Amino acid sequence: MFNVPKIQTEVFARLPDSLRVVDHPEVRFGVARDSFLEGPAFDRDGNLYCVDIPYGRVFRVGSDGRFELACRYDGRPNGLAIHRDGRIFIADQLRGILVLDPARGVVETVVERDGYEPFRGPNDLIFDRQGELLFTDQGQSGLDRPYGVLYRLHAGGRLERLLEHIPSPNGLALSPDEHTVYLAVTRANAIWRVPLDGSGNGAVARVGNYIQLSGGTGPDGIAPAHDGGLAVAHIGLATVWLFDRLGEPIARVQSCAGVQPTNVAFDPRDDSMLYITEAASGQILRARVPMHGAALYSHA
């Protein structure tokens, strides 16, 4: 699709057989899944957390690549975002926005509905510099059913709808000045630019199509670079695209495993090392890339 340099990945960690569900596995899109990894996020100690959607599990992966079960609960965790105080916030498809205390392994509900209406299926989330949480509610939305929503959960608990009628909102990232939200719209195979109007109330102004992709299923997770660039996981195409701050493609990171790179995270301790959850193989890949990850709220 883009004629850019190719970067090869390597396997950093593989979900061990002892943690794969082989008895009565969930069938997803006609394929029996022993796992489905998503949502990588680093804590301050250098541990990489990720989720296993169909089996309600959150894993902690050490620097040696060893998986450890951080918690298991009744739900379908999708995205993770870590607060600067160490709490792990979870976008759960069934239960809304949850929070995990990693020391106790206990999950509690933060918000489960918009007023009287339950969420359709939260997908991903990110903190801004003020500690406010932006998250997507995707459900089964698509071009035929554009009912996805982008929310902001204010630090005081107020829930705000920033944008509605989105055909499959997924991963999201913020520009360096936090005046723009970049939003993966999976079923439109695009990254949208969602400008905040600068008036102080965070209203959305004149949403546009920022990057148009083709092939595969579409963009899933996004990781922001410190200079405004983006790393975009293109599920179904075995690729993570790297774009500069103007939205120009600069490199293609190729999966050395399956075709389903779901999400991406830069290592805060080595910010040009990009980690990728690959769901088809149940592995975490990594690659050295020509960009540096943005500092996230978890490490501010």
Residue 200 has pLDDT above 60, yes or no: no
Is 164 annotated in a binding site? The answer is no
Domains identified in the chain, total number: 1
220 is a catalytic site residue = yes
Q: Is residue 276 part of a domain?
A: no
pLDDT of residue 201: 65
- In angstroms, the CA 66 to CA 59 distance is 10
Residue 101's domain spans which residues?
Answer: 16-222
Instruction: Quickly state the pLDDT bin for 253 (edges 50, 70, 90).
Output: very high
Is 117 annotated in a binding site? The answer is no
Q: Is residue 101 part of a domain?
A: yes
Q: Is residue 9 part of a domain?
A: no
Q: Is residue 295 part of a domain?
A: no
pLDDT of residue 27: 85
Q: Which residues contact 226 (CB under 8 A, 6 or more apart)?
A: 176, 271, 292, 293, 294, 295
Annotated active-site residue in 220, 227, 244, 270:
220
Q: Is residue 213 part of a domain?
A: yes
pTM: 0.97
Is 38 annotated in a binding site? The answer is yes
Is 220 annotated in a binding site? The answer is yes
| CATH number of the domain enclosing 46 | 2.120.10.30
